[in-house]
A and B are shown apart, each in its own frame.
Chain A
């Protein structure tokens, strides 16, 4: 089935409650048995049909009672308040996994695992990510504060550099891994003082990541 032609390209910062190196990235079970995640992206360059999405940001707060693929998850999507009506609709369509080949994007793959979809919110989103330095943060007033930094070696205390490549991934092809400190409020509330983070330059389309 032909889909609307769309593309979003830009830095993503993803944080979750798993320990460093998130086992789910390797198809193992989550560190603590359940998954909580706060994710944000800045679209440097993007379009949905003839709607430009350049410069807009989105964030998602997600919670599942067990491993993601067991389902019963909840999500709160947040779209940049600077987006106009058509841009809001376009970003929400992409985030809900529509106009996408089956399982081609992380949004499409996760959609079937989300049973509670809270009404999307339109808010100012602060976002900064330096993928190379593994430093970044994003925040939405009253909803989420997340920051990420390099993992430190427990013995030498020096920054630990680790890059994971998933050649057939549905989110990223390559990501730098780090440490996250995240706190959320609202309908999907959680926090952790030490968790997984990954920094990636995403480039997603209806057929998944551009390889």
Chain B
């Protein structure tokens, strides 16, 4: 499902124009982004959790240079699906 399909479906279900549906999605995403930017954990019930977690420094192989490099410690955005979403996904029939 592409972003435009999402907006079309949403506009049909809410009974609003597609332009309005796009604004709703954009401000919803902006709200999540704003909370993540402050370092907060965003918990969407029955869907999942967005958060920022620290990653320790590690050695990694660079195939292009055939050498090793040191990746410094950093923080990474993650999404953890909720129990319900995970259960639904594991029962879904495989695609392709």
Bound together: no
